[in-house]
């Protein structure tokens, strides 16, 4: 039976209780504190209950929730989830105002907020605070993302739990506004702050430029996440921050003792780093669910997510080393693989794979990633070929925890590199895959190109694996240490490793300690040591304690899900830690009840689910590609506008189940809609044309296709070739000169395949290389040095 949907209030021109959102961001080095204030007003003549579902960063520690009604401030408490729900229901049934904030059972990056019994004409202001660590990007920037987009999370039929369902409306009808201001401070100067959204100019607060403020320009549209990239001069130095415990907490407890946060940035010896691995089993897993047909950057001019992924696979396949193994899987409601098992990389297997990649479309229905992952892990590993898994998805899944737990169970046999494509990719899923799989996570949003980010991760995958990682502490007598972070399993050049630990016992103010991380890299023992003062830092609030509590809570939650026995004991520990630290968990919720002696609120309570902004306002069915919401507060509806029940949701639009959904009628509609909303694909990039002509061995052949990319005729290319020089050597040198001459701005995309080409040339031991380089420069109009080409 279809349920009635009460979420499309704006489409019916009825008022929506959310008026505005204000976000204040404080960034200290690599830690961000985010305070969001949501202002509501009930303009109806009945009391309302507003229900919101919204995304937060997957590793955020929500640590404060309060509501202000007139002059009354109510601060929420953290309680066991069922108790909190009962207290909320009791308050509403007795006519009291109440507020409930809880984390989704399936995915830690989705929260729901219930605002209960807002009387007619009443205003309420809700304050939500969380702390989060900022991830290091390939260019050394630190990435902060304020999620605005919550895509519908696909849920297969017959699975337990309720899916997140989203009501969407055109952006012009959404009546709430957003303001965001940020303050950035560090021991090192802030060199710049960039964003995918327009910002007011950076304002420095002191002469050494270690403190600055930045604001989001007025008039920000709610059609994408707000992403800030923060750059410091000499950014990534090892640091340790000791934070004093909470005076009111018991000594010996996590909140009562000092906690240390150590950030390490390992530097590997150059001799080891210059030897790129020439082996490995590379498994690529590509999302082909319907939402991958959306534009990569939400503009009508942009390429689609699936076409960008196809181009990326071309670059990856051309960059693989000879002698490795590979396979490509793709998934939606079902999954496919190109080869029954991973095959050796050769010209023949590469061509076969590329032919199949060219035919890949976003036509496999929903997003069921668990089945292909289980199949990949069931395949035996190939001796002396370390498995490297690359996962590309727009991250619209509902069972995040089940997926990351599976990756963790198989972390001993592979490394997992993950890529979140487009707005609304689940940060909990993308970061969780990489964290549990000992790899690296990347997000492709705004105007980002996918290729440079993926090639950065391929470089990481080709780095030798770090093994035998151990952490040792040297502390003054009388001070003991308890690790709060899970053991480090992955270490990459230029990436941060974070360690949290509780310090118990007494030491003098001047005391010092040290922490040493030892590991083995390609058979070479290495270590990084950091000395630090035990004197607590000033003005850190309880940020470090809350991040440490969050880290420990996450580890315990995984233990609870995996443990056959003692589940109740671990759950009890999580609830105790969550209540003690005031940090959210999957077993607790924030509850606030207005117990002042006001009159009970009269009249039946109207439920109001706030709608989100749709990407394709002219095409409601396609709108389910992505539903947009105001940053930080995305609203949901218990029932979808066009398909209200859970079963209908799975079969509608892009999220169909091919066996059970009669989607032929919709296919015709969809084709028309996509033609209206999607551009004609631009002509192929010359770089990708050149790359597509490269052989698996690294060389190019002298043929008319190559001449065309070089912008020359076949006769010009033939005539300029020095005498007695092999055709393939000449063609390969021309291709390398063209790359260095024309495409230096995209060097990170082609660097690995150019290294492979240079290696092939050196192996030929061909005469006349110097002459070839000179002749090639003369033909193409460059002056690229022979040594620059790696020759």
Bridge-based pairing of strands 497-505 and 259-264 is antiparallel
710's CB contacts (< 8 A; 6+ apart) are: 717, 734, 735, 738, 780
pLDDT band at 652 (very low <50, low <70, confident <90, very high): very low
**How confident is the model over 481-502, as a mean pLDDT?**
85
The pLDDT tens digits of the residues spanning 603-643 come to 455 555 554 433 322 222 222 222 223 333 333 322 222 23
For residue 166, pLDDT beyond 60: no
Give the pLDDT confidence score for residue 297 in this predicted structure. 67
Tell me which of 782 and 8 has the higher pLDDT: 782
What percent of the chain stands above pLDDT 90?
38
The residue length of the chain stands at 791
Structure confidence at residue 301 (pLDDT) = 57
Residues in Cβ contact with 635 at an 8 Å cutoff, skipping those fewer than 6 apart = 7, 18, 51, 52, 53, 54, 167, 609, 610, 611, 612, 629
Q: How far apart are CA 102 and CA 51, in angstroms?
A: 12
Q: End-to-end CA distance of the chain: give it in Å, rounded.
A: 71
* Domains of the chain: residue spans and CATH: 18-234+583-672 (no CATH), 276-462 (3.40.50.410), 686-789 (no CATH)
Alpha helices (H) along 469-588: 543-562, 567-581
Backbone angles phi, psi at 527, to 5 degrees: -155, 155
Query: In this structure, what DSSP letter does residue 397 have?
Result: B
Q: Are 229 and 195 in contact (CB under 8 A)?
A: yes
User: Could you give the CA distance from residue 753 to residue 650 in angstroms, rounded to a whole number?
Assistant: 42
Q: Which of 164-178, 304-318, 431-445, 620-634 has the lowest mean pLDDT?
A: 620-634
pLDDT band at 599 (very low <50, low <70, confident <90, very high): low
d(CA 778, CA 785): 12
Residue 91 has what DSSP assignment? H
Give the pLDDT score at 83.
Answer: 95
- Long-range contacts made by residues 598-603, C-beta under 8 angstroms, separation at least 24? 599/95, 600/94, 600/95, 600/96, 601/47, 601/95, 601/96, 601/97, 601/117, 601/119, 602/47, 602/95, 603/46, 603/47
Within 54-143, residue ranges assigned H as helices are 81-93
Q: Are 364 and 330 in contact (CB under 8 A)?
A: yes
Per-residue pLDDT, 273: 65
pLDDT in tens, 232-279: 997 778 889 999 999 888 988 999 999 999 988 877 777 766 665 678
What CA–CA distance (Å, rounded) separates 346 from 320? 10
E strand or H helix at 665: helix 664-677
Q: Report the percent of the chain where pLDDT is more than 70.
A: 80
Give the model confidence (pLDDT) of 528-551 as tens digits: 889 999 988 877 789 999 999 999
Average pLDDT over residues 397-412: 86
Mean pLDDT is lowest, of 111-120, 575-584, 591-600, 709-718, for 591-600
Residue 665's pLDDT is 32
Environment class of 12 (CB within 10 Å of its CB; exposed 0-12, middle 13-18, buried 19+): exposed
CA 321 to CA 341: how far, in whole Å? 18
- Among 565, 542, 611, CA closest to 13: 611
Contact indicator for 310, 357 with CB cutoff of 8 Å? yes
Looking at residue 780, what is its pLDDT?
92
Q: What are phi and psi of 719, to 5 degrees?
A: -65, -35
CB under 8 Å to 760, separation ≥6 — which residues? 697, 698, 699, 732
Identify the band that residue 406 occupies on the pLDDT scale cut at 50, 70 and 90.
very high
Residue 324's pLDDT is: 92
**Average pLDDT score over residue span 274-293:** 84
Identify the band that residue 664 occupies on the pLDDT scale cut at 50, 70 and 90: very low
Q: What is the pLDDT of residue 503?
A: 94
**Of 524 and 705, the one with more pLDDT:** 705
Model confidence at 443, pLDDT cuts 50, 70, 90, reads confident
Contact, 516 vs 529, CB < 8 A?
yes
If one compares 64 and 604, the residue with the highest pLDDT of the two is: 64
pLDDT at residue 481 is higher than 90? yes
- Confidence class for position 508, pLDDT limits 50, 70, 90: confident
Q: Mean pLDDT over residues 511-515, rounded?
A: 91
pLDDT at 597 over 60: no
User: What is the rounded distance in angstroms from the CA atom of residue 340 to the CA atom of residue 194?
Assistant: 45
How much is the pLDDT for 649? 33
Is pLDDT above 90 for 191? Answer: yes
pTM passes above 0.85: no
> How many distinct helices (H) and strands (E) make up the chain?
18, 35
Q: Which helix (H) or strand (E) holds 741?
A: helix 727-742
Residue 730's pLDDT band, with cuts at 50, 70 and 90, is very high
In angstroms, the CA 284 to CA 328 distance is: 5
- pLDDT bucket at 210, cuts 50 / 70 / 90: very high
CA torsion sign, 284 to 289 to 295 to 297? Answer: negative
Distance CA 457, CA 440 (A): 7
Which alpha helices (DSSP H) does 390-466 contain, by range? Answer: 400-409, 427-436, 450-462
**Which of the 8 DSSP states describes residue 436?**
H
720: nearest Cα among 736, 705, 702: 702
Average pLDDT over the chain reads 79
DSSP-assigned beta bridge partners for residue 123: 41
Give the pLDDT band of residue 697 (cuts 50, 70, 90). Answer: very high
């Amino acid at each position: 039976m279809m349920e009635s949907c009460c979420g499309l209030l704006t489409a019916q021109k009825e008022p929506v209780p959310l008026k505005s959102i204000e976000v204040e961001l404080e960034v200290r080095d690599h830690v961000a504190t985010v305070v969001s204030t949501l202002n509501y007003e009930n303009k109806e003549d009945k009391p309302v209950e507003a229900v919101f579902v919204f995304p937060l960063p997957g590793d955020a520690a929500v640590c404060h929730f309060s509501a202000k009604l007139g002059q009354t401030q109510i601060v929420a408490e953290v309680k066991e989830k069922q108790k909190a729900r009962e207290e909320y229901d009791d308050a509403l049934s007795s006519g009291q105002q109440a507020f409930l904030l809880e984390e989704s059972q399936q995915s830690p990056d989705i929260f729901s907020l219930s605002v209960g019994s807002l009387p007619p004409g009443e205003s309420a202001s809700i304050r939500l605070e969380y702390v989060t660590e900022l991830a290091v990007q390939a260019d050394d920037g630190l990435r902060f993302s304020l999620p605005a987009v919550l895509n519908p999370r696909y849920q297969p039929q017959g699975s337990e739990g309720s899916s997140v369902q989203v009501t969407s409306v055109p952006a012009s009808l959404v009546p709430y506004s957003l303001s965001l201001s940020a303050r950035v401070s560090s021991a090192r100067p802030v060199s710049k702050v960039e964003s995918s959204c327009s910002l007011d100019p950076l304002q420095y607060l002191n002469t050494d430029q270690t403190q600055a403020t930045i604001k989001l320009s007025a008039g920000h549209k709610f059609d994408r996440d707000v992403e800030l990239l923060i750059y410091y001069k000499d950014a990534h130095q090892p640091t340790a921050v000791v934070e004093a415990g909470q005076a009111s907490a018991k000594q010996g407890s996590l909140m009562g003792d000092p906690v240390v946060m150590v950030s390490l940035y390992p530097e590997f010896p150059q001799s080891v780093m210059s030897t790129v691995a020439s082996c490995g089993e590379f498994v690529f897993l590509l999302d082909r669910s319907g939402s991958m047909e959306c534009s990569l950057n939400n503009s009508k001019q942009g390429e689609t997510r699936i076409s960008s992924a196809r181009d990326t696979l071309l670059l990856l396949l051309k960059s693989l080393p000879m002698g490795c193994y590979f396979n490509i899987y793709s998934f939606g409601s079902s999954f496919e693989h190109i080869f029954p098992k991973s095959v050796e990389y050769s010209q023949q297997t590469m061509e076969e794979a590329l032919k199949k990649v060219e035919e890949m479309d976003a036509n496999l229905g929903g997003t069921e990633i668990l089945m292909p992952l289980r199949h990949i892990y069931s395949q035996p590993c190939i001796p002396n070929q370390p498995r490297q898994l690359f996962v590309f998805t727009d991250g619209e899944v509902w069972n995040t925890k089940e997926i990351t737990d599976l990756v963790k169970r198989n972390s001993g046999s592979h490394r997992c590199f993950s890529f979140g494509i487009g707005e609304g990719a689940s940060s909990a899923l993308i970061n969780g895959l990489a964290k549990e799989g000992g790899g690296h996570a990347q997000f492709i949003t705004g105007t980002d190109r996918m290729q440079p980010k993926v090639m950065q991760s391929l470089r990481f995958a080709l780095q030798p694996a770090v093994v035998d990682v151990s952490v040792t502490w040297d502390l003054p007598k009388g001070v003991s240490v308890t690790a709060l972070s899970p053991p480090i399993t992955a270490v990459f050049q230029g990436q941060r490793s974070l360690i949290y630990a509780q310090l118990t016992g007494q030491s003098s103010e001047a005391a010092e300690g040290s922490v040493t991380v030892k590991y083995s890299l390609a058979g070479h023992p290495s270590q990084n040591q950091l000395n630090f003062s035990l004197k607590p830092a000033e003005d850190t609030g309880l940020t470090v304690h809350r991040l440490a509590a969050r880290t420990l809570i996450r580890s315990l939650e995984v233990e609870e899900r995996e443990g056959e026995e003692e589940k109740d004991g671990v759950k009890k520990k999580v609830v105790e830690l969550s209540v003690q630290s005031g940090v959210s968990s999957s077993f607790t919720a924030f509850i606030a009840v207005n117990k002042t002696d006001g009159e009970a609120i009269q009249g039946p309570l109207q439920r109001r689910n706030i709608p989100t902004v749709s990407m394709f306002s002219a095409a409601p069915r396609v709108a389910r590609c992505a539903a947009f919401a105001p940053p930080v507060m995305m609203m949901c509806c218990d029932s979808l506008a066009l398909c209200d029940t859970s079963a209908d949701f799975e079969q509608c639009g892009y999220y169909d189940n091919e066996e059970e959904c009669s989607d032929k009628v919709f296919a015709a509609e969809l084709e028309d809609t996509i033609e209206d909303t999607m551009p004609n694909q631009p002509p192929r990039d010359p770089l990708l044309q050149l790359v597509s002509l490269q052989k698996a061995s690294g060389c190019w052949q002298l043929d008319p296709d190559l001449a065309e990319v070089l912008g020359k005729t076949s006769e010009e290319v033939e005539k300029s070739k020095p005498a007695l020089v092999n055709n393939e050597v000449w063609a390969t040198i021309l291709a390398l000169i063209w790359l260095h001459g024309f495409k230096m701005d995209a060097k990170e995309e082609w660097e690995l395949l150019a290294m492979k080409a240079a290696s092939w040339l050196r192996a030929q031991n061909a005469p006349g290389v110097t002459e070839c380089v000179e002749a090639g420069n003369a033909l193409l109009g460059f002056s690229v040095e022979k040594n620059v080409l790696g020759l």
